[in-house]
Amino acid sequence: MSNNNFDGDLEKFVKNLFGNNKNKEKKSVQDAKIVKEKPPFNPKKYVKTAIILTAIAAVLIILLSNIYVVKENEYKIVRQFGEVVKYQDQPGLYMKIPFIQSVTTLPKNLMVYDMSEEEINTLDKKRIIIDNYAVWRVTDPKALISNARSLVNAEARMEEFIYSVLRTELGQTNYDEIINDENSGRGSLSEKITKSVNELLQKDNYGIEVVDVRIRRTDLPQENEESVYKRMISDRESIAQKYLSEGDAEKNRIEANTDRQVQEMISTAKKEAALIIAEGEAEAARIYNEAFSKDPEFYQLYRTLETYKKTIGDETVIVLPADSPYARILSGYID
């Protein structure tokens, strides 16, 4: 018995052989129909969503770009069409009007401004080069922007005022007083310059204040430096010669005064000595008189012998009569 399911049926065999391919073709056709039935992509329905998202992003960007931060060491000046409408000096977040207002930053802390070198004439007609600096700060940012327009312009005006005051003050001071720290009083000079400059700045309302002005260095121009040095040496030599002359005059005065005092002392001593001698001689004469008055003949003999001492020397020759008293005494006859 044959195991073939078709049992000799040729038609079933052919159907069974080609029936699967037909089913596959039918399935492929059905799938193709399903694909063809999907609707096409329509971008219009996404345009509205994109526009909304873009608008939201633009608003966020505008808002964020018009938020400004104020730090502790700065001012923020808000200007509208170039005019200052307000300024902020407290730290925090602030908002400005988009497209209409702009923000300018100014420092709040102390600043050091190095000034350019300037040539100035002193009271004694010496030309010197001044190199100085200024310590300053912003006190009224609104006035600064309104009158000076910018920080650079404010610094330029400050420098002009400082050099104007420097020319006036140093023009009334000698060169030696400027370079000599002990005699110049440079501290008081800096205070005068600072005060005068602040008065000028307040008068024009520039909104800044100078805290201190200091002269860093003073030099002589190259062309007259040597001549000034020679003149300074000559002045010092003149001063030294003056001191020497004054010293000599003082020495002569002291010597003359000392000599006068010595002469006065010697004269006084001689006078006192003469008085003492006179008193002694008077006393001696009194004693002699008392002694000789007791024996006049002895006194006569004594006086004669005293005259011999003065009149007779080693080579004295005396010619006397033999009977003269003088000759008798010399010969030894007393009676």
Q: Are residues 210 and 183 in the same domain?
A: yes
Last residue of a domain, one of 219, 238, 271: 219
Q: Are residues 125 and 200 in the same domain?
A: yes
CA dihedral angle for residue 14, residue 16, residue 18, residue 21, rounded to 10 degrees: 170
Specify the number of domains making up the chain: 4
Residue 121 has a pLDDT of: 84
User: What DSSP element (H or E) covers 63?
Assistant: helix 44-65
**How far apart are alpha carbons 46 and 327 in whole angstroms?**
183
pLDDT averaged per 10 residues in sequence order, the chain, 335 residues: 48 55 50 51 70 84 82 88 84 85 89 88 82 92 88 92 89 77 57 90 92 84 71 87 91 92 92 92 85 76 74 72 70 61
- CATH number for 174: 3.30.479.30
- Model pLDDT for residues 287-318, shown as the tens digit of each residue: 878 877 777 777 777 777 777 777 777 777 77
Longest dimension (CA), the chain: 241
**How far apart are alpha carbons 154 and 166 in whole angstroms?**
18
**How far apart are alpha carbons 287 and 46 in whole angstroms?**
164
Contact 211, 128 (CB under 8 A): no
The DSSP string of 2-36 is ---TTTT-HHHHHHHHHHHHHHHHHHHHHHHHHHH
Q: Residue 205 domain-assigned?
A: yes
Residue 312 has a pLDDT of: 72
Domain, as residue range, for 80: 48-107
Q: Residue 275 domain-assigned?
A: no
Residue 40 has a pLDDT of: 61
Find the DSSP H helices in 180-224: 181-184, 186-204
Q: Are residues 84 and 24 in the same domain?
A: no
Q: Residue 144 domain-assigned?
A: yes
Q: How many CB atoms lie within 10 A of CB 132?
A: 22
**How far apart are alpha carbons 198 and 227 in whole angstroms?**
37
Q: Are residues 100 and 119 in the same domain?
A: no
Pairing of strands 74-80, 83-88: antiparallel
Q: Are residues 76 and 117 in the same domain?
A: no
Residue 183 has a pLDDT of: 45
Pairing of strands 92-95, 67-70: antiparallel
Q: Are residues 147 and 120 in the same domain?
A: yes
pTM (whole model) above 0.85: no
Residue 23 has a pLDDT of: 52
Q: Residue 187 domain-assigned?
A: yes
- Model pLDDT for residues 185-230, shown as the tens digit of each residue: 455 778 888 999 999 999 989 999 999 998 888 777 776 667 767 7
Q: Are residues 25 and 66 in the same domain?
A: no
Q: Are residues 93 and 115 in the same domain?
A: no
**How far apart are alpha carbons 154 and 206 in whole angstroms?**
7
Q: Residue 209 domain-assigned?
A: yes
Contact 113, 175 (CB under 8 A): no
Q: Are residues 141 and 171 in the same domain?
A: yes
Which residue type sits at 334? Answer: I
| 32 token code pair | 């193709």
Residue 87 backbone dihedrals phi, psi, to 5 degrees: -145, 155
Last residue of a domain, one of 189, 219, 249: 219
Q: Are residues 146 and 170 in the same domain?
A: yes
Last residue of a domain, one of 172, 187, 219: 219
Q: Are residues 25 and 56 in the same domain?
A: no
Q: Residue 282 domain-assigned?
A: no
Residue 206 has a pLDDT of: 92
Q: Are residues 3 and 78 in the same domain?
A: no
Q: Residue 272 domain-assigned?
A: no
Q: Residue 125 domain-assigned?
A: yes
**How far apart are alpha carbons 189 and 218 in whole angstroms?**
14
Q: Is 84 helix (H, G, I), strand (E, B) or coil?
A: strand
